[in-house]
Amino acid sequence: MTQQSTIFALATAPGKAGVAVVRLSGPQVLATLAALTGRTDWQPRMAVYAAIRHPHTQAIIDRGLALYFPAPHSFTGEEVAELHLHGSLAVIRELLDVLAGQPGLRLAERGEFTRRAFINSKMDLVEAEGLADLIEAETSAQKTQALRQMQGQMSRFYDDLRGRALQSLALIEAYIDFPDEEIPESVLADFRDSLQGLSDAIGAQLADSGRAQRVREGLSVVILGEPNAGKSSLLNALAGREAAIVSQQAGTTRDIIEVHMDIAGYPTVLMDTAGLRESVDSIEEEGVKRALARAREADITLILFDGTQGLPDSVAALAGEHSILVATKADLGGVVPAGALSLSTHTGEGVEALVAALEARVVSFFSGAEQSFITRARHRGLLQEAQQHLQRARAEHLPLELVAEELRRGALLVGKITGKIAVDDVLGAIFSQFCIGK
């Protein structure tokens, strides 16, 4: 049997800093601590101030704190140690070199600490993804959701679904095993009810407008309008920087320019698009095509028109319930139709009101997002497949053997979400998204 290697990595961001943390996990942890510090009297989770020395030359690498977390009460469930040293490039390089030279030690791969935590049942896949999201979180809503997921709120939902499916399966299998027993009608009716309930719970999540997924990825806000309507100027005004080129020359913006913004604590992706017009230029024409495609997928569209020119019918036609109509260049005068906002990026008037209107839309889109559990396309895909099997299982007059088979497949698919049924390629895809040291 090959012994599990002991892995190590810089757990803090690389670069100069006050403190750097190097983490180790695996069977050689205590031996390594002894080799580096000469000490063997480690108390669980007690920080010890020590000189960290080169094991052969005894030259001091740095002085710092060392902590020991005995298995299984550690992040990975294995023997773990942390070394808190000065965040110096030279110190870190020397320590990592020394560790690499120790027998049985090697640098961790991306996400390998978390992968080991999963293998040792410290967390399931959905919780591990929550941890990845927490590290990626930039807005407060992302942080709150990631913490909920990391602490098992989404996992409980999936575990409950799987448990209910397995219970129904057990019931059906009992009947299959005892074919001579008379099945009371009421029991079958209960069974059908519980399948219905299961399917409804999944259906409610699938029917959600993707709020939890948008918390991770950002709500899309697309700016649309004719050339020179002032779209790029507005994007820059909202972003507070010159992200897009502003020009009197029509057709300047061709590709889509994205700016990530925090609106009321929620992540949004603001997109500037090519002006909508008939074009002889094939690149611009492609830009217009992309603009319209993005607008169809957008959560919110800002429909802009030059207030001095009025709202063209072709632009008004793009407005839907997710749109905000905006007359631009208010400093030049013009008439604003009812229901539209009016602003000028040159004087700044009306920009605050637009931001307030956007905030209100964003907050209302996300309200109740904590009832929404699907945070990733991976979860949605598996849940959709599971739902298809459950719906087939509910077909009238389906032989019980086939009902059981559909239920088994449904439960299996739900199990894949949390990793109750783990497939190696799925694990690779998930843990490779982590940084080294996590």
Ligand X SMILES: Nc1nc2c(ncn2[C@@H]2O[C@H](COP(=O)(O)OP(=O)(O)O)[C@@H](O)[C@H]2O)c(=O)[nH]1
279 contacts Mg ion (rule: CB under 5 A): no
- 232, 268, 301, 342: which one binds Mg ion (CB under 5 A): 232
Beta carbons within 10 angstroms of residue 167's beta carbon: 15
How far is the C-alpha of 297 from the C-alpha of 209, rounded, in Å? 12
Instruction: Tell me the closest approach of the beta carbon of residue 264 to ligand X, in angstroms.
Output: 25
Residue 83: beta bridge partners? 22, 66
CB 304 within 8 A of CB 328: yes
How far is the C-alpha of 389 from the C-alpha of 410, rounded, in Å? 5
Tokens of 4: 């599990």
Instruction: Tell me the closest approach of the beta carbon of residue 251 to ligand X, in angstroms.
Output: 8
- 24, 229, 288, 374: which one binds ligand X (CB under 6 A): 229
Scan for tokens 């120790």, then name that residue: 102
Q: Which stretch binds ligand X (CB under 6 A): 30-38, 147-155, 221-229, 404-412?
A: 221-229
Could you tell which of ligand X, Mg ion, none binds residue 248, using a CB distance below 5 to 8 A set by kind? ligand X
Q: Between the CA of residue 119 and those of 130, 299, 421, what are the distances in Å?
A: 16, 38, 12
For residue 305, the 8-state DSSP code is: E
User: What's the burial of 69, exposed, middle or buried (CB within 10 Å: 0-12/13-18/19+)?
Assistant: buried
253 contacts Mg ion (rule: CB under 5 A): yes
Could you tell which of Mg ion, ligand X, none binds residue 364, using a CB distance below 5 to 8 A set by kind? none
For Mg ion, how many residues bind (rule: CB under 5 A)? Answer: 3
- 30, 171, 243, 246: which one binds ligand X (CB under 6 A): 246
Q: At what angle do helices 153-177 and 185-207 cross, to 10 degrees?
A: 150
294 contacts ligand X (rule: CB under 6 A): no
- 87, 225, 267, 419: which one binds ligand X (CB under 6 A): 225
How far is the C-alpha of 146 from the C-alpha of 415, rounded, in Å? 20
Instruction: Tell me the closest approach of the beta carbon of residue 349 to ligand X, in angstroms.
Output: 9
Cβ closest to ligand X, residue 336 vs residue 403: 336
Instruction: Tell me the closest approach of the beta carbon of residue 133 to ligand X, in angstroms.
Output: 34
> Which residues in the 250-279 window bind ligand X by CB under 6 A?
252-253, 275
Instruction: Tell me the closest approach of the beta carbon of residue 253 to ligand X, in angstroms.
Output: 5
Cβ closest to ligand X, residue 277 vs residue 408: 277
Q: Between the CA of residue 136 and those of 114, 191, 216, 280, what are the distances in Å?
A: 15, 43, 9, 43
Q: At what angle do helices 112-119 and 424-431 cross, to 10 degrees?
A: 140
Q: Which stretch binds ligand X (CB under 6 A): 42-50, 177-185, 247-255, 407-415?
A: 247-255
Name the phi and psi angles at 77, rounded to 5. Answer: 90, -5
Run of H or E residues at 261: strand 257-263
How far is the C-alpha of 331 from the C-alpha of 347, rounded, in Å? 7
Q: Which stretch binds ligand X (CB under 6 A): 33-41, 88-96, 211-219, 328-336?
A: 328-336
345 contacts ligand X (rule: CB under 6 A): yes
76 contacts ligand X (rule: CB under 6 A): no
CB 95 within 8 A of CB 85: yes
**Which x/- pattern over 185-224 shows residues binding Mg ion (rule: CB under 5 A)?**
----------------------------------------
The one-letter amino acid code at 251 reads G
228 contacts Mg ion (rule: CB under 5 A): no
Q: Which residues bind ligand X (CB under 6 A)?
A: 225, 227-233, 246-248, 252-253, 275, 328-329, 331-332, 344-346
Q: Which residues bind Mg ion (CB under 5 A)?
A: 231-232, 253
